[in-house]
Amino acid sequence: MRKKVILACTQCLSRNYTTNINRTNQTERLEVRKFCKTCSTHTLHRETK
């Protein structure tokens, strides 16, 4: 079953992106390098609770 998750910037902690992940295949938290509009740079975004 796929679950909707929110990605937050690690530097400014703004929640910028949403995505879906498959919980049966991926048990650890998702970390993706994406563009943050408030920081105006590419930063690491992590899955929030």
Residue 36 has pLDDT above 90, yes or no: yes
pLDDT tens digits, 10-22: 999 999 999 999 9
Name the token pair of 35. 């563009």
Q: How far apart are CA 23 and CA 16, in angstroms?
A: 21
Question: Which three-class secondary structure state does DSSP give residue 43?
Answer: strand
CB neighbour list of residue 42: distance below 8 Å, 6 or more residues apart: 33, 34, 35, 36
Domains of the chain, earliest start first: 2-47 (2.20.28.120)
For position 26, what pLDDT does the model report? Answer: 85
| Average per-residue pLDDT for the chain | 93
Give the CA distances from residue 47 to residues 15, 22, 40, in Å, rounded to whole numbers and listed in that order: 9, 13, 20
pTM of the model: 0.84
Tokens of 8: 């937050």
